[in-house]
Structure 1
Amino acid sequence: MNILKDFLLQLSFIAILIFAVQIFFAERSGKDRRVQIILSVLYGLSILICMSFPAYVDTHFRLDIRIIPLLLGTLYGGPATGVILSAFVILYRSYFGADLGFFTTVLTLSFSMPVILIFQKLFAKAEKNKKLQMAFLLSAYYSLAGLIVSSVLRGFSLRFFPVQLIHIAITLAVLILFISLNETIKDMIRKNRQLQSEAKSAEIAFLRSQIKPHFLYNALNSIAALCIDEPHKAEELTLDLSQYLRSSFDFNQLDSLTTIENELELVKAYINIEKARYGSRLCVEYDVDANLDILIPPLIVQPLVENAIRHGLMSNLRGGTVKISVKRAADAVVSFAVEDNGCGMNETKRDEILKSETNKKGIGLRNISQRIQLLYGKSIRMESAEGRGTKVIFDIPARPIMQIGG
């Protein structure tokens, strides 16, 4: 029973050190080198604890379950980790002297580790059940190699044989349990990420489904207003809009992007329609100092310009000016700003508009805020004062976003 207690003590150390940290780093990429280094160190520390608190069969014969962190570290950490951990085992065992136990350790590792390293790549690509089978066979092979080497060097002993069988049985059972738990954790993380990605894709699809009819509805209303007084101008604008939509509105894929240049063309097309309606009441200024080929989410500026014109400027008779700014800022960021000198709003109304749960018609600011939050984890900023106007600002990375849902 003392031997069993010693094994359980070693197991508790392994479980605490390895699984606690794996859960802590659960959301990190499996290719993150820092995480791999930390886990490798912990596998080494687990081996150190196992070898420092062995189960003594007698004064000259002791057993530990170092194979569990050694095999886990090799199978999940890769060949380099396996070689380092094996070297660590040999160096630490040499600290106790070049006795039979040292030679048993060296010979066991020499026979078993090449086979384990050969199967490591197959293990990394295998499904859960295949991984369990490979881990069981590799652990059994290591234990068998250790049993044979020990019998050759020490001589076969019926007295110690039952203890060795218990040791092998515990090693196999615990290793299978640990790998099963590890794969279950990874599977849960993978499914959780997939659900998050699907939810994000569905949310963005919903927002886009609002944007296209929203823009078309308002643009066609503007054209309709010209049909009676300026039918020729309305016809020209209708043809321009049709041509632009045919060449630019290709948003069938959820992961589609557009360039800053295309987004500004859409903005100018919309402004041309609105200027035909409002005339000199509407003035527009552009301040563009960024690479126009940078990829951005489509329809992310035009709704802001539409808000600025319809709710900021045209709420009074004199109209006003909309300033559109696109600038490359520091740290590989593109800063967008849409500013008007219209009616503005107080702080309470501003906060109300930005709340996603606000139940109002239209998409505007709430939509842009939600899309940027979903895609980049950032928020828009809005500065406004009654009678002075409103400025909406947001920053996005100057690089393509990751493919949504992939």
Structure 2
Amino acid sequence: MDIVKDFLLQIAFIATLIFTFQIFFAGRSDKNNHIKIILIVLLGLSIVLSMSFPAYVNSSIRMDIRIVPLLLGTLYGGWRTGLALSTLIIVYRFYLGVDFGLYTTILTLLFGMPVIIYFQKLYIKAKKNKRIQIAILLSIYYCLVGLIVGTTIRGFSLEVFQVQLIHIHIIVVVMLFFTSLNETINEMIRKNQQLQSEAKDAEIAFLRSQIKPHFLYNALNSIAALCIDEPSKAEELTIDLSQYLRSSFDFKQLDSLTTIEDELELVKAYINIEKARFGARLQVEYDIDVNLDIRIPPLILQPIVENAIRHGLMSTFRGGAVKITVKEEAGSVVSFAVEDNGCGMTEQKQEEILKPDAEKKGIGLRNISQRIKLLYGNNIRIESAEGIGTKVLFEIPDQSIKQSGG
């Protein structure tokens, strides 16, 4: 019974540390070196605790379940993690004393770890049930290697052999428990991430579905007025309108990223249409210092320009100027800014237009703010003062270039 209690204590150590890792780090990228270091530290600590509180068969033979964290670390963390934990086992066993147990430990690792490392690649590619089978078979293999090595060094003892069989059964049960639990947790995390991704995609699709060219009727009226007096200008404006509508309603293209160059062409097409309506009342300045091939979500800049012109400038008789700035900043960040010298807005108005529960529909600042928040976790910033103008800013990290969806 004392042996069972000792093994249960070891299981409690391992369970506590593994659950600690799962609670705080499960679902994070296993390619992150910091996560791997934390995994090695926690599993290493569980190995040390298991070896520090072993189950004694007699005064010279001690047993523990260090194989469990060693195997879990190797299968989930890779061969480097396995080698690091193996080294820890040898060093700590040497610290505990140089005896037959140390030699048994070294030889068992020498013959057991290459096989475990070999099957680690198969384990990563396998599905849940296959993974559990591989983990159990590897634990049995390691235990049998230890049994054979120990018998060879110490000689055969029926009492020790019987305890070893109990030891093997305990390890198999513990490995089955931890592997099944870990795979279940990972499966739940994957499903949860998939649901979150689908929910995010659905919300982005909803935001995109609201994209409507509000200026369409006014643009058509401007074209109609030019058809008689300036037919060439009307033709040019019609081409600009066609370009704008093609980009605005190409929802298949909205499922991927576009380039800054394409987004700026869309902005220019829109501005040409508005200039045909407002003439000298609308002035535009561009400050572009960025790689135009950088990929960004489509229709993320043009609606802000449209908002600045329609609500900022053209709400006053005198009109005004809008400045469009796109720059690459330090730290691999692309910054966007749209500034106008129009009517401006109050602080209360600024808060209202960004409220996610606002009743107002369309492709204004609230829509763009939600898209940026969903895609990158960033917020747009508004700097505005009544009678002076408004500036809308946001930033996109360059890793957005590698993302899909927009």
Normalised TM-score (structure 1): 0.92
Match of 2:174 in 1: 174
Distance 1:353 1:62, change over 3 A: same
| Deviation sequence 1:107-133 (CA, Å, 0-9, x none) | 333332232222121112111111111
Match of 2:263 in 1: 263
Q: How does 1:381-396 map to 2 (within 5 A)?
A: 381-396=381-396
The residue identity in structure 1 corresponding to 2:61 is F
| Deviation sequence 1:142-176 (CA, Å, 0-9, x none) | 22222233333333333344432222111110111
Q: Whole-Å Cα distance in 1 between the matches of residues 235 and 389 of structure 2?
A: 33
Distance 1:357 1:402, change over 3 A: farther
Q: Whole-Å Cα distance in 1 between the matches of residues 300 and 405 of structure 2?
A: 20
Distance 1:254 1:263, change over 3 A: closer
Q: How does 1:77-96 map to 2 (within 5 A)?
A: 77-96=77-96
Q: How does 1:240-279 map to 2 (within 5 A)?
A: 240-243=240-243, 245-246=245-246, 250-279=250-279
CA contact (8 A) 1:295 1:399 kept: no
State which drifts further: 321-330 or 388-397: 321-330
Match of 2:336 in 1: 336
Helix, strand or coil at the partner of 2:159? coil
Distance 1:349 1:10, change over 3 A: same
Match of 2:188 in 1: 188
Q: Whole-Å Cα distance in 1 between the matches of residues 103 and 63 of structure 2?
A: 14
Normalised TM-score (structure 2): 0.92
Match of 2:219 in 1: 222
Q: Whole-Å Cα distance in 1 between the matches of residues 302 and 162 of structure 2?
A: 78
Q: How does 1:6-405 map to 2 (within 5 A)?
A: 6-211=6-211, 214-215=212-213, 217-228=214-225, 230-231=227-228, 232=231, 233-243=233-243, 245-246=245-246, 250-398=250-398, 400-404=400-404
Paired residue total: 403
Helix, strand or coil at the partner of 1:58? coil
Match of 1:5 in 2: 5
Helix, strand or coil at the partner of 2:348? helix
The residue identity in structure 1 corresponding to 2:172 is L
Helix, strand or coil at the partner of 2:317? coil
Segments of structure 1 that go 5 or more residues without pairing to the other structure are none
Q: Whole-Å Cα distance in 2 between the matches of residues 382 and 286 of structure 1?
A: 19
Helix, strand or coil at the partner of 2:286? strand
Q: What displacement does 1:249 show?
A: 6.6
Q: Whole-Å Cα distance in 1 between the matches of residues 82 and 397 of structure 2?
A: 39
Helix, strand or coil at the partner of 2:210? helix
| Deviation sequence 1:3-43 (CA, Å, 0-9, x none) | 11111111111111222123311242011112112212222
Q: Whole-Å Cα distance in 1 between the matches of residues 300 and 309 of structure 2?
A: 16
Q: Whole-Å Cα distance in 1 between the matches of residues 313 and 323 of structure 2?
A: 12
Q: Whole-Å Cα distance in 2 between the matches of residues 280 and 76 of structure 1?
A: 66
Q: Whole-Å Cα distance in 2 between the matches of residues 291 and 382 of structure 1?
A: 25
The residue identity in structure 1 corresponding to 2:358 is T
Q: Whole-Å Cα distance in 1 between the matches of residues 174 and 254 of structure 2?
A: 45
Distance 1:244 1:311, change over 3 A: closer
The residue identity in structure 2 corresponding to 1:363 is I
Q: Whole-Å Cα distance in 2 between the matches of residues 109 and 83 of structure 1?
A: 10
State the superposition RMSD in angstroms: 2.3
Distance 1:274 1:135, change over 3 A: same
CA contact (8 A) 1:375 1:401 kept: no
Q: Whole-Å Cα distance in 1 between the matches of residues 253 and 182 of structure 2?
A: 35
Helix, strand or coil at the partner of 2:403? coil
CA contact (8 A) 2:226 2:234 kept: no
Q: What displacement does 1:399 show?
A: 5.5
Q: Whole-Å Cα distance in 2 between the matches of residues 333 and 111 of structure 1?
A: 50
Helix, strand or coil at the partner of 1:401? helix
| Deviation sequence 1:258-294 (CA, Å, 0-9, x none) | 2222222211211111111122222222222222222
Q: What displacement does 1:226 show?
A: 4.3
State which drifts further: 288-297 or 367-376: 288-297
Distance 1:66 1:269, change over 3 A: same
Q: Whole-Å Cα distance in 2 between the matches of residues 263 and 96 of structure 1?
A: 67
The residue identity in structure 2 corresponding to 1:113 is M
Q: Whole-Å Cα distance in 1 between the matches of residues 96 and 368 of structure 2?
A: 66
Q: Whole-Å Cα distance in 2 between the matches of residues 102 and 319 of structure 1?
A: 86
CA contact (8 A) 2:380 2:393 kept: yes
The residue identity in structure 2 corresponding to 1:185 is I
